[in-house]
Structure formats: structure tokens, C-alpha cells
């Protein structure tokens, strides 16, 4: 229990309390602490309760622990629960944005106000500030869990909105219409190598993720049954390709391909062997997309090639992911159900598919209007 005492100062009466906080292991004597400067006894009692909680939870012995110490402790556990690609991405966020601002600070001295200031600062630098908050929050939650701090200072921080988010802006269309697809493939067949024409054709006609396509091997393709088994993805770290299982259970899927896609794949399989033999390589190729040394192509190369091609031929600008969106839009236009599209694209959450559905091409919207008009005329 604490002992309370009133004492006089030049500013008037103040209150203090004394408390035994432990036993000196060397001498066996009691260790006392004193807290002064309280205006009332009630204020001193409140301070005692808080201090007692810190002592009971072990916080008092953790006053000097730095944020980076907690991060290392948390990361040693957390890094064993995530995939290598996720690990690389998370570490990049910590190294670039979080540790420079929090690392050398004592975890107990980090306030809500400072956390808000940091998030405001990062929001002026990047758009993905919410993800930075999420990652930093994981460390603070761990600190609470392990009794380094009583409350999480990041928990109630607000993500600031940029002024432009309040303005009505024209949404960029990140997919191609059917006619734009035809124009692109016509140009690609004429001006690209067979490998890269086939690469873009597959992205458009299967809706595969880029990493899934780069990781695709000939063993994953059954030309007789006209199916592709998608069960892994590819990412690169420090110039080295790393294959890992597909990101979610739903991503492991077998999709059907049409006869024309099968024909293109069959032709490329023959052509690929011919090109390798011409270079004196008699080894059976594993991946469908290869460099000259039989390694899979660089993950960034499809992006670079698409961007350059769009610029040269003045095409509607979309991203590589926009080709996946294009495939989904064309499926909806062809009459596929939401569940069918979800299964083909490997979406675990149907809401993701619904989000794509709300952005289908104008062609589908016009068809809907025309179909409704025809229905009404039949009545």
C-alpha cells in the first residue's frame, strides 16, 4: 500500500505518496519510490493506481525498451507465418517508413499525437498510408499483448484524406473493350515475338495473374483435355526467382481453355523447342515463358513491354492487372455468372468479383438497356 502525505510549497499545499516497488536482490532491502507534485490527494491516489498497474504488469522494468527492440521480437515470430514475397514487401515498408520514425523511440513514450503526426507526414508522401498504419499497428498490438505498454497509441489514429478525394473525378478505365482487345492482339501478333504475343493472349483469355503465368510450366497444361492447372505463383527477390504456392486456397484452380487458345499453346510448344535447338539447347523447357538461359522471364518485363507497346501504338492505357479485369468484363458480357467468374479468376471473396462486376464495359450496359427494351416490346 502507498502512504500519502501533504506538504507545503511556495505554490501552496501539494500531495505526495511513497510506495515499495520491489526488493534489492543484493541487499534484501526494500526499494522505495516517491511521487510528488499532486494538487489533491485524489490526484495522488489516481497516480498510485496507474503506477501499481505498471509494476504488477512488469512495465516499470521495461521503461527503456525501444520500438525497434519490440519490432525485432515481433518480427522473429511474425516472419515465420508469412510467405517470402509478403515478408519482403513488409520489411520494405518498415525499413523505408516506420523504423526511421519510430525505431529509436522508447515504446512507452510514443504518444497518440506523435503517431497521428507520423501518419499525416507519410500520407503526404505516398497513397498507401493505410497499409503503413496497419503494419506499425501490428507491432504496437504485440507490445500491448506482451505487457510492454498498457494501450496502443496507433489504434485510434485517423488516415487523412487528400483534397482531391473530395472532388468528383473521372474514373480511369483499367480494361479494354472487345474491339480494343482485337486491335491490340492484331498489332501484337504482327510486331511481337511469338512468345510475348502468346503471353498477352493468355493473360487476356484466361484472366491469370501475372505471377501465375510466369510460374506456369508445361506440366500444368493439358492440351488434350484443354485445361490449365494454376497452383503456384512467381516472385523475384534480389534477382532470384522464387516459386510459391498460390496465394489463397481459391487461387489453386483448374480452368478450361478454348480450342483456339489450345492451338496457340500447341504451336508455341513446338516453336519454343525449335528456338532452343537453334541455340544448341537440347534440354526440355520447363516453363512456357523463358529467357535464353532457360530461366523464367523477369516478373517486371510484361509491364514494361505493355507500357511501351501502348505508347508506341497509341492504345488506351491499362495495366497488366487491367488485362485480368478485361477478361472478367468479357466473361460477364458473354453471359457468365458471378460465381463462374469468381471460380475462374480464383477470387476467395465474392465481393472482389462483385467489385469487378460493377465496372464492366459500356458494351454490357448498352446490351442491358437493349434487352430491357426488347422485353417490354414483347408484352
- Same domain (yes/no): 307, 325: yes
> Residue 233 contacts by C-beta under 8 Å, 6 or more apart in sequence?
85, 209, 211, 212, 215, 243, 244, 245, 246, 247, 251
Whether 167 is in a domain gets the answer: no
pLDDT greater than 80 at residue 172: no
pLDDT band at 103 (very low <50, low <70, confident <90, very high): very high
Distance (Å, whole) CA 226 – CA 15? 84
Among candidates 322, 216, 209, which has minimal Cα distance to 268?
216
| pLDDT the model gives residue 329 | 85
Report residue 372's pLDDT band, with 50, 70 and 90 as the boundaries. Answer: low
The number of folded domains in the chain is 3
Say which CATH number the domain at 362 has: 1.10.443.10
**pLDDT recorded at residue 89:** 83
Q: How far apart are CA 348 and CA 368, in angstroms?
A: 28
pLDDT confidence bin for 167, thresholds 50/70/90? very low
Domain end point (choices 135, 161, 187): 161
Residues 149 and 260 in one domain: no
| Per-residue model confidence as pLDDT tens digits over 337-350 | 888 888 888 887 77
Residue % of the chain over a pLDDT of 90: 45
C-alpha grid cell, residue 28: 534484501
Residues 79 and 150 both lie in one domain: yes
In a domain, residue 170? The reply is no
What is the Cα–Cα distance from 116 to 279, expressed in whole angstroms? Answer: 59
Q: Do 72 and 30 share a structural domain? A: no
Task: Judge whether 352 lies within some domain.
Answer: yes
Q: How far apart are CA 114 and CA 91, in angstroms?
A: 22
Of 324, 293, 314, 286, residue with least CA distance to 200: 324
Secondary structure string (H, E, C) spanning 79-134 = HHHCCHHHHHHHHHHHHHHHHHHHCCCEHHHCCHHHHHHHHHHHHCCCCCHHHHHH
* Same-domain pairing of 245 and 322: yes
321 contacts: CB under 8 Å, gap ≥ 6: 174, 210
Question: Looking up cell 511521487, which residue turns up?
Answer: 35
Listed ranges 26-30, 191-195, 353-357; the one with the highest mean pLDDT: 191-195
Better-scored residue on pLDDT, 290 or 360: 290
Residue 352 CB coordination number (10 Å): 15
Q: Are 202 and 213 in contact (CB under 8 A)?
A: yes
pLDDT band at 248 (very low <50, low <70, confident <90, very high): low
Say if residue 249's pLDDT is above 70. Answer: no
- Range of the structural domain that residue 100 is part of: 67-161
Q: Same domain for 145 and 274?
A: no
The verdict on residue 334 lying in a domain is yes
Classify residue 339 by burial, with Cβ atoms within 10 Å: 0-12, 13-18, 19+: exposed
Q: Could you give the C-alpha distances from 127 to 99, 117, 122, 177, in angstroms and in order?
A: 19, 16, 9, 28
Global pTM reads 0.57
Residue 378 has pLDDT above 70, yes or no: no
Give the residue-averaged pLDDT of 164-187: 77
Do 238 and 110 belong together in one domain? Answer: no
Is there a domain that residue 173 lies in? no
Confidence at 369, pLDDT banded by 50, 70, 90: low
* Percentage above 70 pLDDT, the chain: 84
| pLDDT at site 371 | 66
Q: What is the pLDDT of residue 379?
A: 47
Rounded CA-CA distance 70/59 in Å is 13
CATH of the domain at 121: 1.10.150.130
Provide the 8-state DSSP code for 238.
T
Give residues with Cβ within 8 angstroms of 40, minimum separation 6: 15
Range picked from 48-52, 249-253, 283-287 for highest mean pLDDT:
283-287
Q: Of 10-14, 82-86, 250-254, 300-304, where does the model show the most confidence?
A: 300-304
Give the residue with greater pLDDT, 11 vs 119.
Answer: 119
pLDDT in tens, 265-281: 999 999 999 999 998 88
Whether residues 265 and 345 fall in one domain: yes
Residue 171 domain flag: no
pLDDT value for 142: 92
- The reply to whether 219 and 312 lie within a common domain is yes
Q: Which residue has the higher pLDDT, 264 or 331?
A: 264
How confident is the model at residue 168, as a pLDDT? 46
The whole-chain average pLDDT of the chain stands at 84
| Final residue before a domain boundary, out of 17, 38, 57 | 57
Whether 319 and 191 map to the same domain: the answer is yes
The verdict on 85 and 223 lying in the same domain is no
Contact in structure between 101 and 132 (CB atoms under 8 Å): no
Nearest to 180 by CA among 208, 206, 204, 209: 204
Give the strand order in the sheet containing 253-256: 221-222, 227-230, 253-256
Residue 166 vs residue 18, higher pLDDT: 18
Specify whether 240 is located in the same domain as 312: yes
* pLDDT number for residue 128: 84
State residue 288's pLDDT score.
95
Least confident of 32-46, 52-66, 106-120, 357-371: 357-371
Query: Is residue 376 situated within a structural domain?
Result: no
Q: Which pLDDT belongs to residue 200? A: 97
- Does 192 have pLDDT greater than 90? yes
pLDDT at 143 over 70: yes
Q: What is the pLDDT of residue 147?
A: 82
* Domain presence at residue 301: yes
Amino acid at each position: 500500500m502507498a502512504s500519502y502525505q501533504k506538504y507545503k510549497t511556495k505554490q501552496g499545499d501539494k500531495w505526495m505518496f511513497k510506495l515499495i516497488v520491489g526488493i534489492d536482490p543484493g541487499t534484501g532491502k526494500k526499494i522505495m519510490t516517491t511521487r510528488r507534485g499532486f494538487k489533491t490527494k485524489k490526484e495522488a491516489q489516481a497516480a498510485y493506481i496507474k503506477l501499481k498497474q505498471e509494476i504488477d504488469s512488469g512495465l516499470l522494468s521495461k521503461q527503456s525498451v525501444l520500438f525497434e527492440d519490440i519490432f525485432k521480437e515481433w518480427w522473429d515470430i511474425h516472419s515465420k507465418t508469412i510467405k517470402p514475397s509478403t515478408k519482403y514487401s513488409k520489411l520494405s515498408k518498415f525499413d523505408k517508413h516506420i523504423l526511421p520514425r519510430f525505431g529509436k523511440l522508447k515504446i512507452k513514450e510514443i504518444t497518440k499525437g506523435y503517431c497521428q503526426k507520423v501518419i499525416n507526414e507519410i500520407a503526404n508522401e505516398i497513397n498507401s498510408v493505410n497499409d503503413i498504419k496497419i503494419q506499425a499497428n501490428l507491432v504496437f498490438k504485440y507490445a500491448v499483448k506482451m505487457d510492454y505498454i498498457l494501450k496502443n497509441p496507433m489504434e485510434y489514429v485517423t488516415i487523412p484524406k487528400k483534397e482531391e478525394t473530395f472532388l468528383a473525378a473521372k474514373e480511369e478505365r483499367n480494361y479494354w473493350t472487345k474491339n480494343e482487345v482485337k486491335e491490340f492482339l492484331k498489332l501484337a501478333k504482327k510486331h511481337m515475338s511469338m512468345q510475348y504475343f502468346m503471353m498477352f493472349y493468355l493473360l487476356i483469355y484466361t484472366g491469370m495473374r501475372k505471377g501465375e503465368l510466369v510460374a506456369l510450366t508445361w506440366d500444368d497444361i493439358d492440351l488434350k483435355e484443354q485445361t490449365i492447372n494454376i497452383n503456384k505463383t512467381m516472385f523475384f527477390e534480389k534477382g532470384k526467382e522464387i516459386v510459391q504456392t498460390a496465394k489463397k486456397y481459391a487461387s489453386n484452380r483448374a480452368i478450361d481453355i478454348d480450342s483456339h487458345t489450345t492451338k496457340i499453346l500447341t504451336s508455341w510448344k513446338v516453336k519454343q523447342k525449335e528456338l532452343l535447338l537453334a541455340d544448341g539447347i537440347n534440354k526440355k523447357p520447363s516453363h512456357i515463358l523463358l529467357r535464353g538461359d532457360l530461366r523464367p522471364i523477369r516478373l517486371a518485363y510484361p509491364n514494361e513491354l505493355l507500357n511501351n507497346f501502348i505508347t508506341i501504338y497509341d492504345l488506351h492505357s491499362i495495366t497488366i492487372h487491367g488485362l485480368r479485369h478485361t477478361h472478367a468484363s468479357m466473361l460477364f458480357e458473354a453471359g457468365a455468372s458471378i460465381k463462374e467468374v469468381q471460380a475462374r479468376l480464383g477470387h476467395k471473396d465474392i465481393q472482389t468479383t462483385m467489385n469487378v462486376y460493377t465496372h464492366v464495359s459500356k458494351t454490357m450496359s448498352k446490351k442491358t438497356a437493349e434487352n430491357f427494351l426488347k422485353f417490354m416490346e414483347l408484352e
